[in-house]
Amino acid sequence: MYVCICNAVTDKQIRKAAESGVEDLWGLQRELGVAAGCGSCKEMASEILGEKRREKGRFEPIRYQPATA
């Protein structure tokens, strides 16, 4: 199913990114462009990431850490 219509990103692509190590929405934006347009997919994408994190046994929240350039 398409999660991000703006960038044609599916739930399978988000799950695959999570399995590859993406752990937060900012990582998804960087890798797939999720929530970089209108943002209406942000909640669903975050839920899918949360599912994958729970499967890995990681329950603590991920906090945004700005990159140092």
Amino acid identity, position 55: E
Is the pLDDT score of 65 beyond 70? no
pTM of the model: 0.77
Q: Is the four-CA dihedral 19, 20, 25, 31 of positive or negative sign?
A: negative
Is domain 2-55 classified as CATH 3.40.50.1970? no
Using alpha carbons only, give the angle 12, 46, 50 rounded to the nearest 5 degrees: 85
State the pLDDT confidence band at 64, using cuts at 50, 70 and 90.
Answer: low
Instruction: Evaluate whether 14 touches 47 at the Cβ level (below 8 Å).
Output: no
Element of type H or E holding 30? helix 25-32
Distance CA 49, CA 8 (A): 17
- The pLDDT tens digits of the residues spanning 13-49 come to 999 999 998 988 999 999 999 988 898 999 999 999 9
